[in-house]
Structure 1
């Protein structure tokens, strides 16, 4: 749907006049009228304001769904040849060739802001927009894309307390390591997390926090932590401290106790007994 029709539809869905829409967006009624006739087009910052003000997703302003865009840089993937490759040489379902090659990201060790600054000129050229608009567009889209989304969600949920416990430097390093992981590494980590839950069930059935099943559980959990934590951060003391944090936080208790009642307590005790 053309932008002019999208704006008109959003206004009509809100049940307001052009004048009311203009007031809420701090523009003139004539500006809204020109958008709806297609005489002019709002810039990306105004599009963002429209989305925030009227509670609509940004992708509504694009002809293609979000899956059409590279889930790392937000560049449209219009042709199959634009897709990156997995470790086995197959085409990536999510990432473009500039961001992803043979199962790994081409730009590593960057925060999202650093990535935007580094890649915005290429984005501006590809989309035919000024550099500042490309930067603004990427800053809006990237937090919703696969590569960056989970880091942002975790930061929102746990960032303040984790930074208080470990410090900004360690948390930033952990975030950088996470976003640098290729798709295969993410899949391995997810599969290991599921395996840990299965092993937690088996260890609880055995009923001994120092037994062989519990030791296998703790070893698997420690390996999983090392996949995400920056090199050199893991210590037995840090592992035990994290386990104590699991038990103290109702969010983690809800996650592990979904395996079986008392699972969080068992995991904590096994870690303290076995590391």
Structure 2
């Protein structure tokens, strides 16, 4: 089966990139014997634009995707986070390639209003939507046109190569990494945890409280030294929703703490994840597992 995968591949970051769920998806497709061609909308827009000003390259990027679909003749077009690509372009591809199934994959939270609008927009032209939030939360997307499915965040063995559960000497006792501060107060919780565990363990925070976020190999090196991680999502009231952090911690054998409101206990048993109810419960469990 031939796949045209449209997403932002961060080509101009030259390796200093975030751990990308869309990259894991691409690897999984290839490992399952799919033929995959990739199209990075933001990079193509920048490459094709006058003076490399990306906003001036949107029209050209859409034209190039149409050209690529004509050349590849995909059975499936997967549109990830590719806001430069318009529904008009996808509809034209569908008309030119009537046997091509168009799907949209999305792993952002529904607490961001612009993401809900993005999903509704893509549902107008896509055959199916795959969303990392649990199916119970997706009723607002029904009846627009696309079929709706839950898609968990992936783990990829060639990327998530660590197994810290087998290591006995790890210098970072507890880790929290983030880069998003909108629609959340989780950094207040992190500050309270820092106060509660100060002098008792090595708690490292990146992406908050004056410390910059880390990417690429810097992030991987930090993971390789970590015993326990906090999976603090921006909001806790969405069924089966987590950022990709959950898969990154689990895939590298790092004990993680996540709020029980997401009901991941229906998927992952207690012996694999530490579920907490509130701040006091979380601090007590962190200290208990540290001992």
TM-score (norm 1): 0.30
Larger Rg: 1
Higher helix fraction: Structure 1 or Structure 2? 1
The structure with the largest strand share of the pair is: 2
Task: Give the structure, 1 or 2, with the largest relative contact order (CA under 8 Å, sep 6 or more).
Answer: 2
